[in-house]
């Protein structure tokens, strides 16, 4: 099972020095991947269901992924997750292709829809359309990344007679990892994703989600070219070797660990997060820590 780290652009990791330190430490310790979080805006004052205070820092996902690409050579770089309906798919396809090129093929494209209506209001995007937009935008981006003469006609976006180069290095395209725990998110993962990402899921919750995915897979057609659905999970806190094995026994392919929600919702503590990385690497026998 692969081990990643969530939170490369949040909390204490909100400037070049801190993010660079995280990147080199995680890669040196043998982590498989680094993942960003995303809220383009936060509602002020905070009100449910917004998960964090309005002044919590979220460095832009694309900027962070490009910065991480320049600071590392091996570790994979994941968006965990891009709120896809809030992005223009043509622009996003271009930006992410650039990340894949500059990282020499290390991008993991994590997508979701979010759940805070006020964020959509600020962007002028109807909240009720977010699922339909996400489904369409995935396909539009896939067309831009794979077709020699890209052409797409959808409800929210249409294009033809254009080129957007360079294409991603990974073929046919960077893995698309669909996040979310709702039935519609699970259906989207089965129908369109190379993987599914469950955030803040413990063992029991993960087991329940995997049962739901198995049931949905009986009802939703999955294109053969997508292969097996890869499972990524962020547990709600640290994991030891025994817990990691239990996740693996459930069929989890990747744990994307974090010290706790305080590293995203609060001001964060970079030193404590780095110590968490070092402890996790020792406990799970990663890379040089083996």
Peptide bond into 245 cis (omega under 30): no
Predicted confidence (pLDDT) per residue in 104-147, tens digit = 999 999 999 999 999 999 999 999 999 999 999 999 999 999 99
Helix (H) or strand (E) holding 144: helix 130-146
Query: What is the rounded CA–CA span in Å between residue 270 and residue 97?
Result: 30
Closest CA to 93 of 80, 106, 107, 103: 107
On whether the 2-289 domain is CATH 3.20.20.30, my answer is yes
Peptide bond into 189 cis (omega under 30): no
pLDDT attached to residue 266: 73
pTM summary value: 0.96
DSSP assignment, residue 213? H
Task: Please state the domain extents for the chain.
Answer: 2-289
Q: Residues of the chain whose pLDDT is less than 70?
A: 288-290
HEC letters along 217-235: HCCCCCCHHHCCCEEEEEC
The DSSP annotation for 48-111 comes to TT--S-TT--B--HHHHHHHHHHH-SSSEEEES-EEGGGS-HHHHHHHHHHHHHHTTS-EEEEE
pLDDT attached to residue 268: 81
pLDDT attached to residue 289: 40
Residue for token digits 């010290």? Answer: 259
pLDDT attached to residue 267: 80
């Amino acid at each position: 099972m692969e081990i990643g780290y969530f939170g490369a652009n949040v909390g204490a990791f909100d400037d070049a020095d801190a993010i660079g330190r995280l990147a080199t430490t995680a890669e040196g310790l043998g982590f498989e991947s680094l993942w960003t979080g995303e809220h383009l805006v936060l509602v002020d004052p905070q009100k449910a269901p917004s998960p964090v205070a309005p002044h919590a820092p979220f460095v832009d996902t694309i900027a962070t992924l490009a910065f991480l690409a320049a600071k590392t050579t091996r570790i994979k770089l994941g968006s965990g997750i891009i709120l896809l309906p809030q992005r223009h798919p043509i622009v996003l396809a271009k930006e992410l292709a650039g990340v894949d090129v500059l990282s020499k093929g290390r991008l993991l494209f994590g997508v979701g829809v979010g759940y805070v209506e006020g964020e959509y209001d600020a962007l002028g995007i109807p909240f009720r359309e977010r699922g339909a937009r996400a489904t369409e935008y995935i396909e539009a981006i896939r067309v831009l990344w794979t077709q020699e003469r890209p052409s797409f006609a959808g409800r929210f976006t249409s294009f033809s007679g254009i080129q957007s180069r360079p294409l991603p290095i990974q073929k046919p395209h960077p893995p698309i990892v669909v996040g979310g725990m709702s039935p519609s998110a699970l259906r989207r993962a089965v129908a369109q994703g190379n993987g599914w990402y469950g955030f803040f899921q413990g063992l029991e919750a993960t087991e329940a989600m995997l049962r739901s995915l198995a049931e949905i897979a009986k009802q939703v057609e999955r294109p053969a070219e997508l292969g097996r659905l890869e499972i990524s999970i962020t547990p709600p806190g640290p994991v030891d070797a025994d817990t990691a094995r239990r996740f693996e026994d459930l069929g989890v392919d990747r744990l994307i660990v974090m010290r706790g929600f305080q590293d995203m919702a609060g001001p964060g503590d970079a030193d404590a997060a780095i110590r968490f990385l070092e402890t996790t690497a020792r406990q799970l026998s990663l890379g040089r820590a083996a």
